[in-house]
A and B are shown apart, each in its own frame.
Chain A
Amino acid sequence: MPPSRTAPPLSERSTRWLLIVVVVAQLSLITAQLPDPGGRASLLEAVLVRAVAPLGWLIDGAADLTVALADELRLRRSLIEDNRRLRDEVRELRRRTMEAWQLEQDLERLSRALEYERIELGPVRLADVVFIDHRPFLRTLVLRTGGGAEQNQPVVSADGLVGRVVLVQGPYAKVQLVTDRAASVGVMIERTRRQGVVRGAGARGLDLDFVPLQAEVKVGDRVITAGIDGIYPRGLPVGTVVEVAPGSELFHRIRLRPAVDLGLLDQVYLLERPELPEGMRGEAPVARP
């Protein structure tokens, strides 16, 4: 049985013109974003993200609740064993904390002797991941922050760098992942302190650029943020070198595996960024990952 047909509100000719207008308008909307693909969002995008995000939050919450109930049932069976294992872990972690405290004391003493002032990581804020998508054209996620997030605010997980906030809409924030092709981060190789720039490579992970051929790089080297791009503080794990090959010019071609498994993100942390003094703000590099 074919669906019932009603008279269309416009003639076919008018609809064809309307199609042309809509297509041209959308092409204009798309091309307007080209100079800065990760930059300011259009009003239309902002409104739709704001409308869809609560739905994602509800579904995420319901899924989390279901998973939590299932976990609760499973966990009850092995509670005693887990408890014993965790007690052992706590004991071990306490021992390591003592060691770390001792090292920190030494570090502070040496820093004072050299009159060096370390930059401390600011306070962090926990945020729930509302939804994340991995289709080939994008690398992005939306968080429920509860408000107060800022554009360009670094986003991290317990394992390392996740990305930065690119759009804030009320209690929600859209995050550009570090693997996004438009993202870049100033980094250094932890072992040698050699600096470079990490660029998102989509499904391939991350590429590390601008490391000269004479610099020593090995598979397995850890790469951390260098704190030189005006966005990310120093010392956040970014990834591990998995492939080093000579590039076509003066630099290595280096591929990294991201430190964070972006498919497992459930909650992340937003880092508060220390404000630069008023007089230096104009001199700071405007990072545009």
Chain B
Amino acid sequence: MNPSYYLFLAALLFTIGALGVLLRRNAILVFMSIELMLNSVNLTLVTFSRIRGTLDGQIMAFFVMVVAAAEVVIGLAIIMSIFRTRRSASVDDANLLKY
């Protein structure tokens, strides 16, 4: 089977994630879309690792996973703190800063 199908799948997932970031209004869902983008990167890395026949891509996927986990923790902490203040996780309600 042609491994480049996985690349197209990953590109599709990345696009879905990017659209999710742009279209969703709930900070948690925006955040989940970013995680989807990172996971599509992992799929790309592993596929290229397979195509190239080197293991580097698989090890890189580990690093991306760890960074994604750290990002989850930082992100949840920040979103939690603003949610406790505002009782809302909508990014449209965060509108104090402009001009």
Q: Do A and B bind each other?
A: no
